[in-house]
Amino acid sequence: MKYRVVFHLDEDDDMRVSLALNNIRNLIADLVDVEVELVAYASGVNPLRRNSGYSDTIKMLMDRGVKFAACSNTLKGDGHRS
């Protein structure tokens, strides 16, 4: 059976970000056939930025097939192009 799981992140709170990333790491370690995506919006986009303190963990998860998506409206509001 293939599983598909979406996590969402709407805060730039260290405890919440760490919890979400650890939950993703545990999920992909426990399930063989799983697709995982983290969708971020509002201040939850900040941890996904290249210079964040989570960059290494995010890269490792991406290397394991986890997808990350940032809300285009949030990025436009911050002056970034989507």
pLDDT band at 80; cut points 50, 70, 90: low
pLDDT at 79: 65
CB 8 within 8 A of CB 38: yes
Domains defined along the chain, listed by start: 3-77 (3.40.1260.10)
State pLDDT tens for residues 14-70.
999 999 999 999 999 999 899 999 999 999 999 999 889 999 999 999 999 999 999
**pLDDT of 78:** 72
Q: What's residue 82's pLDDT?
A: 44
At 36, is the secondary structure helix, strand, or coil?
Answer: strand
Residue type, 66: V
DSSP code at position 9: E
pTM above 0.85, yes or no: yes
